[in-house]
Amino acid sequence: MTPQDFSSLASGRSLTRTLSSKTIFSNMMTGLAFACAVIALIPLVAVILYVLINGSVRLGPQLFTQLPPPPYQPTSPQFNSGGFGNAFVGTLMTVGIASLISIPFGVLAAIYLSEFARDTKIADAVNFMTNVLSGVPSIVMGVFAYGLIVLYTKSYSAFAAGFALAVLMLPTIVRTSTEALESVSGELRQASVGLGATNFQTVSRVILPAAVPAILTGVMLGVARAAGETAPVIFTALFNNFWNFDVWKPTATLSVLVYNFAVTPYKNWQELAWAAALVLVALVLVANILSRWLTQRKR
Amino acid sequence: MATSVDNPTGMSYRRTEFSRIVDNGFKWLTTIFAMGVGVTLMAIAFQVGLQAIPSIQKFGLGFLFTARWNPVEDIYGAWTQIYGTLITSFLALLLAVPVGVGVAIILSEDFLPPRVQKPLVFMVELLAAIPSVIYGLWGIFILAPFLQGPMNWLYQNFKWIPLFSTPPTGRGIYIASIVLAIMILPIIAAISRDSLVGVSPDLRQAAYGLGATRWETLFQVIIPTAISGIIGGVMLALGRAMGETMAVTMLIGNSSNPSPSLFAQGSTISALLANQFAEASGLQVASLMYAALILFGLTLLVNVLAELLVRRVEIKKI
């Protein structure tokens, strides 16, 4: 401190002035930061609220058993008929295929990362690739599946969409499973190896069972995300106005139905789009809350 | 037990031989799948690049800088879409970065008791979990009518500014950017919060000890220390914004005419892909693949840079 500083401190007046401007600045910034938090929460509340309000108009069992209706006028007696049973089945099919591919793939890769290559350069590189893969736009996964499967089989199909979604889910599964496996205590490993178990026995009978709940949590989040993804499905599964259970045929999904019906001028299709949105949001909310509840209970 | 002591080799030895094969096989299997992650990434680049070759040969780099997309005459250039991708992402960042960092500060400082803070963190995470197509639906039916009034006011009073020079409709660059901002906000908030929380408490205490207020400490000590992580988060968000498809496709209007006005309808690379892939054939598919390759390259670049920045933060924390 220079002598001037001391003299201004001694006079007292300038000190109080600095303090009060500091306080004003602090209060202003605190207010701004809280405003940011409020601004961030408004869209969340608004989206969930409107999906609930507009989606519940048509909520009922017919949604899951009937086919999409033709466009009806609001005055038509059939205005409230129809559902999206085929799209619901289609979403189950595509997400099911995606899970069948990505879960074994991801968990095996995670076992390598956590059990055989932990803290090595190779694991580092694979983790890096995983993160980069998770940053690849989902529509590019669709383009990939289109070029690899749709062009080759010459047909849009649930399988092509499932493949695209599998690539999309893979990084999530690898990451959450690696974390789950690595958090299994080292003592369990040592005990198992000490009893004479091989690596395979240790992993399959001790580590994996201990990590299953945490892996399932990651899988659940991945599945919920895949169910809502539209971009990779839109030109791989395409759409289908009828029931379809063949994985090699064009298939309707809930997410594509929301997109297709939202941009039409028909009121009954728009209402169905909102109802499908409600189903997807409910899925996402349940998966997220459940996974949070499970991880917290463990701690 | 007694038998194994009497006869330490014998049957148990044979089992070891067999289980060694299983063990090695298992290790190899997991190795192959771990490598498979990298192979997948390269396969995407390779496959998309391969399919794009006819278009790359025909249009070359001029594809990037010409604004024409004409399936009738089979002539393609993606400048409108590339511009649209860059401008919507930039505007989204402009809106989302200050709010996101503000949220991160609220969620990392001790303004709120943990009982309130934890659910808030969770709610911001939820914002990221809502599917893109639902933001699009919400944008069309709720946000667009809501914004119509304020945007009309901007147009009527400021139309001499090129940015506001066309009459606003429910679709356009402005609304796509706003919805994008909402969608990338959670990434910025979450990663910035991690970086801020990761700053060593010693630094904070030292600053407080020197008489700094909370906000002086934040601006002069905590944020500068966490800045590389925050920038990494912002870049990850940029990558997300550039690749985001459904909400943008539903809201941007899908016009191939470039315009400086934010109220004008436009397009992005991802919107182009979503709109045209299902009905394309021949050179159009190749050109769409070319566009997809550009998008892949752009996001790859941004993500690798972001990854390196975020990674540095994680190493520092340890």
Could B26 and A203 be called an inter-chain contact, meaning their C-beta atoms sit closer than 8 Å? Answer: yes
User: Tell me: the pLDDT tens digits for B66-80?
Assistant: 888 888 888 899 999
Could A51 and B44 be called an inter-chain contact, meaning their C-beta atoms sit closer than 8 Å? Answer: no
Band the pLDDT of B315: cuts 50, 70, 90: low
Which one-letter DSSP state was computed for residue A137? -
Could you give the C-alpha distances from A282 to A204, A279, B232, B294, in angstroms and in order?
Answer: 34, 5, 32, 35
**Closest CA of chain B from A65, distance in Å:** 23
User: Tell me: the pLDDT tens digits for A58-71?
Assistant: 888 999 999 999 88
The residue range of the domain holding B148 is 62-317
Q: Which of A140, A155, A256, A267 to mutate to test binding with chain B, by most B CBs within 10 Å of its CB?
A: A140
Burial of A235-254, coded b for 16+ CB within 10 Å and e otherwise, reads bbbbbbeeebeebebbbbbb
Q: Which of B223, B245, B267 to mutate to test binding with chain A, by most A CBs within 10 Å of its CB?
A: B245
**Closest CA of chain A from B278, distance in Å:** 5
Last residue of a domain, one of B27, B43, B59: B59
Which residue of chain B has the CA closest to A258?
B133
The mean pLDDT value for B185-214 works out to 90
B145 and B275 in a single domain? The answer is yes
Could B306 and A135 be called an inter-chain contact, meaning their C-beta atoms sit closer than 8 Å? Answer: yes
pLDDT of A214 > 50? The answer is yes
* Residue B64, number of CB atoms within 10 A of its CB: 14
Of B131, B141, B246, which is closest to A284 when you measure between CB atoms? B131
Could B245 and A137 be called an inter-chain contact, meaning their C-beta atoms sit closer than 8 Å? Answer: yes
Q: For residue B26, which residues of chain A lie inside 8 Å, CB to CB? A: 199-200, 203
B53 and B71 in a single domain? The answer is no
**Rounded (10°) angle between helices B283-317 and B173-197:** 20
Question: What is the number of CB-based contacts under 8 A between chain A and chain B?
Answer: 272
Please tell me the predicted confidence (pLDDT) of residue B313: 62
Question: How large is the greatest C-alpha to C-alpha distance in chain A, in angstroms?
Answer: 90
Could B47 and A148 be called an inter-chain contact, meaning their C-beta atoms sit closer than 8 Å? Answer: yes
d(CA B306, CA B318): 19
User: Tell me: the pLDDT tens digits for B271-292?
Assistant: 999 999 888 888 999 999 999 9
Of A109, A129, A225, which is closest to B41 when you measure between CB atoms? A129
B164 and B253 in a single domain? The answer is yes
Three-class SS state of A248: coil
Could A199 and B236 be called an inter-chain contact, meaning their C-beta atoms sit closer than 8 Å? Answer: no
Band the pLDDT of A18: cuts 50, 70, 90: low
pLDDT of A201 > 70? The answer is yes
d(CA B269, CA B76): 13
Dump the DSSP string for A33-57: HHHHHHHHHHHHHHHHHHHHHHHGG
Band the pLDDT of A175: cuts 50, 70, 90: very high
Please tell me the predicted confidence (pLDDT) of residue B111: 86
Band the pLDDT of B3: cuts 50, 70, 90: very low
Of A44, A156, A174, which is closest to B37 when you measure between CB atoms? A174
Please tell me the predicted confidence (pLDDT) of residue B316: 52
CA atoms within 13 A on the CB side of A231: 27
B8 and B113 in a single domain? The answer is no
**Closest CA of chain A from B40, distance in Å:** 8
* Residue in A230, A227, A215 with CA at minimum distance from that of residue A295: A215
d(CA A217, CA A170): 14
Could B289 and A47 be called an inter-chain contact, meaning their C-beta atoms sit closer than 8 Å? Answer: no
B184 and B288 in a single domain? The answer is yes
* Sequence-ordered list of residues with C-beta below 8 angstroms from that of B273, at least 6 positions apart, any chain: A139, A142, A143, A235, B245, B288, B291, B292, B295
The mean pLDDT value for A272-295 works out to 91
B10 and B106 in a single domain? The answer is no
* Predicted TM-score of the model (pTM): 0.90
Could B273 and A143 be called an inter-chain contact, meaning their C-beta atoms sit closer than 8 Å? Answer: yes
DSSP-assigned beta bridge partners for residue B75: B70
DSSP-assigned beta bridge partners for residue B78: B67
B40 and B71 in a single domain? The answer is no
Three-class SS state of B75: strand
**Closest CA of chain A from B257, distance in Å:** 21
Could A140 and B296 be called an inter-chain contact, meaning their C-beta atoms sit closer than 8 Å? Answer: yes
Question: What domains are there in chain A, each with its CATH number?
Answer: 87-298 (1.10.3720.10)
Note whether A198 and A279 are within 8 A (CB): no
Could A262 and B126 be called an inter-chain contact, meaning their C-beta atoms sit closer than 8 Å? Answer: no
**Closest CA of chain B from A232, distance in Å:** 9
The mean pLDDT value for B97-110 works out to 92
* Residue A132, number of CB atoms within 10 A of its CB: 20
How many structural domains comprise chain B? 2
B152 and B54 in a single domain? The answer is no
Domain CATH for B92:
1.10.3720.10
User: Tell me: the pLDDT tens digits for A88-111?
Assistant: 999 999 999 999 999 999 999 999
Last residue of a domain, one of B59, B80, B100: B59
Note whether A167 and A141 are within 8 A (CB): yes
Last residue of a domain, one of B40, B59, B78: B59
B167 and B24 in a single domain? The answer is no
Q: Which of B20, B26, B268 to mutate to test binding with chain A, by most A CBs within 10 Å of its CB?
A: B26
B135 and B160 in a single domain? The answer is yes
Q: Which two three-digit tokens encode residue B99?
A: 């709010």
ipTM: 0.89
Q: Which two three-digit tokens encode residue A283?
A: 């899925």
Band the pLDDT of B318: cuts 50, 70, 90: very low
Note whether A232 and A139 are within 8 A (CB): yes
B192 and B266 in a single domain? The answer is yes
Could A262 and B300 be called an inter-chain contact, meaning their C-beta atoms sit closer than 8 Å? Answer: no
d(CA B45, CA B64): 18
> Helices (DSSP H) in chain A: which residue ranges?
3-11, 13-55, 62-65, 85-111, 121-135, 138-145, 151-153, 158-182, 186-194, 199-201, 208-228, 231-234, 254-262, 267-298
**Rounded (10°) angle between helices B283-317 and B79-108:** 20
pLDDT of A1 > 50? The answer is no
Of A36, A129, A281, which is closest to B106 when you measure between CB atoms? A36
Ranking A71-85, A97-111, A214-228, B36-50 by mean pLDDT, the lowest is A71-85
User: Tell me: the pLDDT tens digits for A135-172?
Assistant: 999 999 999 999 999 999 999 999 999 999 999 999 99
Which residue of chain A has the CA closest to B18?
A198
> Helices (DSSP H) in chain B: which residue ranges?
2-6, 11-59, 62-65, 79-108, 114-129, 132-138, 144-158, 173-197, 201-209, 214-217, 223-243, 246-251, 269-276, 283-317
B198 and B268 in a single domain? The answer is yes
First vs last Cα of chain B: how many Å apart?
Answer: 46
Ranking A31-45, A185-199, B280-294 by mean pLDDT, the lowest is A185-199
Please tell me the predicted confidence (pLDDT) of residue B314: 59
Q: Which of B138, B295, B318 to mutate to test binding with chain A, by most A CBs within 10 Å of its CB?
A: B138
